[in-house]
Amino acid sequence: MAVNISDALRLPPGACDLGAHDPRSTPHAPGGKKKKTRAAMSEQAPALADLQERLYAEGAGGGGRSLLLVLQGMDTAGKGGVIKHVVGALNPL
C-alpha cells in the first residue's frame, strides 16, 4: 500500500527530535527535480487551497488544530522562496 504525503509528513502528538530527521530529505518530492515539483504543486494547488480554507475556518470557529512548518537551512538556502511559493499561495488574507 502506497503511503500518501499526509501520512509521510504527519507527526504524532508529543515531543519530536528534529535532529533525528535528515535535513536533505525531500519526502514524496517527484524525483527531487524543481520542474516536476513545481508541476506537482500546481496540480495540487486547488486541494491545498481547500484544506487551508478548512483549517482557517476551524481556527476562526475556535477549533484547536494548527499547522507548524519547520524550514531548516543556511542563509540563502531558499527558505524565503518556500514561504513565497507555498505558504503565500495559501494565504487567506
> How many structural domains compose the chain?
1
- Each residue's pLDDT, cut to its tens digit, for the chain (93 residues) gives 455 767 777 778 888 888 888 877 777 776 657 787 778 778 878 888 888 888 888 888 888 887 777 777 778 888 888 777 776 666 655
Is 69 within the bounds of a domain? yes
Model pLDDT, residue 1: 45
**Angstrom distance (rounded) from CA 3 to CA 28:** 9
Is 54 within the bounds of a domain? yes
Is 18 within the bounds of a domain? no
Model pLDDT, residue 3: 58
Is 80 within the bounds of a domain? yes
Structural domain span for residue 91: 30-93
Is 65 within the bounds of a domain? yes
- The closest of 41, 65, 43, 38 to 54, measured between CA atoms, is 65
- What is the reported pTM? 0.51
